[in-house]
């Protein structure tokens, strides 16, 4: 909801826009031809058509101003929502249990892989044929014995 000063400004804008909208409506009613015979008069078409079109556009602007200011006074935004937002009717599961289970399985697999790699490394150290390969690997990685 607008505060007191904003509300006064909005009310002043609304009254001005309503007055201007009513004036343009009365002008169009007075100067718009009522029958099709007067529309065929070339003098009327040349002189007043541009003015009538301009006043019609001005009327549409004032109507838009009246509508948006009325919404602002009610505390609504200028945007019009064609479909109201809806909330889900059922509880949406976050699947925390599934994430926890998958994480535990992945951690167990990583630990099992680490155990097998460590055992293979220890067995390779004891194998005399793999000793030169391990020495080159340690030298390449910058590890010392």
Query: Is pLDDT at 99 greater than 60 in this prediction?
Result: yes
79: left (phi over 0), alpha (psi -120 to 50) or beta: beta
CA distance 19 to 27: 12
What is the tens place of the pLDDT at every residue in 23-38? 888 877 776 666 545 5
Average pLDDT, the chain: 78
Q: Are 125 and 134 in contact (CB under 8 A)?
A: yes
Domain boundary among 43, 73, 103: 73
Please report whether residue 26 resides in a domain: yes
Could you tell me the residue range of the domain that residue 124 belongs to? 112-145
Structure confidence by residue, pLDDT tens digits, 50-84: 677 777 788 888 888 887 877 777 776 656 666 77
Residue 92 carries which DSSP code?
A: P
Domain count, the chain: 2
- Which residue in 80, 81, 64, 57 sits closest to 13, CA to CA? 64
**In the predicted structure, residue 123 carries a pLDDT above the cut 60:** yes
Q: Do 57 and 9 share a structural domain?
A: yes
- Averaged pLDDT, 2-18: 77
């Amino acid at each position: 909801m607008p505060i007191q000063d904003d509300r006064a400004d909005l009310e002043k804008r609304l009254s001005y826009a309503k007055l201007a909208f009513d004036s343009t409506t009365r002008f169009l009613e007075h100067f718009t031809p009522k029958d099709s015979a007067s529309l065929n008069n070339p003098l009327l078409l040349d002189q007043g058509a541009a003015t009538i079109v301009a006043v019609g556009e001005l009327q549409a602007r004032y109507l838009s101003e009246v509508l948006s200011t009325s919404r602002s006074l009610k505390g609504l935004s200028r945007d019009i929502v064609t479909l109201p937002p809806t909330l889900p009717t059922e509880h949406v599961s976050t699947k925390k249990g599934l994430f926890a289970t998958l994480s535990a399985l992945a951690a167990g697999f990583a630990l099992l892989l680490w155990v097998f790699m460590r055992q293979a490394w220890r067995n390779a150290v004891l194998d005399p044929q793999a000793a030169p390969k391990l020495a080159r690997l340690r030298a390449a990685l910058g590890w010392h014995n």
